[in-house]
Amino acid sequence: MKAVVKEKAAPGARLMDVDVPAPGPRDVLIKVKAAAICGTDIHIMEWPPFAQARIKPPMIFGHECSGEVVKVGDQVKNIAVGDLVAVETHIPDETCFMCQTGLQHICEKMAIIGVHVDGVFAEYAKIPAVCCWKLARDTNPDLGAILEPWGVAVNGILKGEVNNRTVAVFGCGPIGLMGLGSIHAWGASKIFAVEPSEMRLSMVPQFAPDAVLINPAKDNAAKVILDATGGRGVDVSIDISGNPRAIQAAFEVVRRAGRVTLVGLPSEPVTLELTANVIYKEARVFGSTGRMMWQTWYEMQNLMDSGKFDPMPVITHRMPLADFAKGIELAQSGKAGKILLYP
């Protein structure tokens, strides 16, 4: 089969012919219907220290996808050949303290598809049954491919209250955009969207029609938000950018007793004014990573079923798997929403 392989410990990747993987007794084999490009894939391509520390070439990468089940291991319950599934990227070990207390998504011995084991930028992929989310068979496979990143936003949003709250979102890439749509649908009273890319900022109104748009390259985001809230600040501040300056602003604009959720991953330590912005305010801060298995997925399903939000407009580009390099370059540019690849 065709697959995008990180062949060597160096920048780049190659579309190659490889063997179709053989599923184990608790795995399924899927025919990949649609895969999406994530920031992690850019890192794997570029080969910075972050990638060098995690990836052991040669391996197939890519992890966001939907697929049709074509084989099931003999210990697999509840999934059948012909099912359409979306893939949860995190493989929990199922035996650690976290896994045994309902928090598989922060498993102490987590493996990640497309990072620690072969991924989904391929015609077929072997997926542990425990990482499959069944979709109605008539679901658009493109939707299935973007549930995983949407779930990153939903997990962070739902660390606390959002209905009837003022919410500031820092970072409006694909995850931020889908997050904004969810926050809007769940009844936030006022939304601020902060993003330096004008292209991305211009997409916000499709997701949160009444959001106040702020380009931090032009305006002081913290000042704009504090002014618009009479100096009090927002109830909820969510960083999806990982940018240290944005994270600092997220803490500056949260009100007393407000909530900060951190989703974006800063690539370096961040310096925070804890006395004024956390302690005197009695702020509550929540780290958020991945998606709860399966609470977050049910939340997405509920939201879609309610008809209140459709994440599909986040997809701006679609191309064959063979054009993966072009897709990754486009993703790097910041001038795209979600980009889908079709094997």
Q: Which residues contact 230 (CB under 8 A, 6 or more apart)?
A: none
- Pick from 272, 319, 325, 330: which binds a second copy (CB under 8 A)? 272
Which of 1-9, 196-204, 268-276, 323-331 is the region at the interface with a second copy (rule: CB under 8 A)? 268-276
State which residue, 32 or 185, has the beta carbon closest to a second copy. Answer: 185
Q: Annotated catalytic, 40?
A: yes
163 binds a second copy (CB under 8 A): yes
Which of 33-41, 111-119, 220-228, 267-275 is the region at the interface with a second copy (rule: CB under 8 A)? 267-275
Contact call for residues 249 and 216 (beta carbons, < 8 A) = yes
- Pick from 31, 294, 326, 332: which binds a second copy (CB under 8 A)? 294
**What b/e sequence results for 39-77 when a residue is b if at least 16 CB atoms lie within 10 Å of its CB, and e otherwise?**
bbbebbbebeeebeeebeeebbbbbbbbbbbebbbeebe
305 binds a second copy (CB under 8 A): yes
Would you call 149 helix, strand, or coil by DSSP? helix
Distance CA 7, CA 335 (A): 28
80 binds a second copy (CB under 8 A): no
Query: How many amino acids of this chain bind a second copy (CB under 8 A)?
Result: 66
- Pick from 32, 169, 247, 336: which binds a second copy (CB under 8 A)? 247
- Pick from 42, 270, 319, 330: which binds a second copy (CB under 8 A)? 270
Distance CA 148, CA 136 (A): 16
310 binds a second copy (CB under 8 A): no
Shortest reach from residue 266's CB to a second copy, in Å: 6
Would you call 258 helix, strand, or coil by DSSP? strand
Q: Annotated catalytic, 296?
A: no
Structure tokens at 248: 């600092």
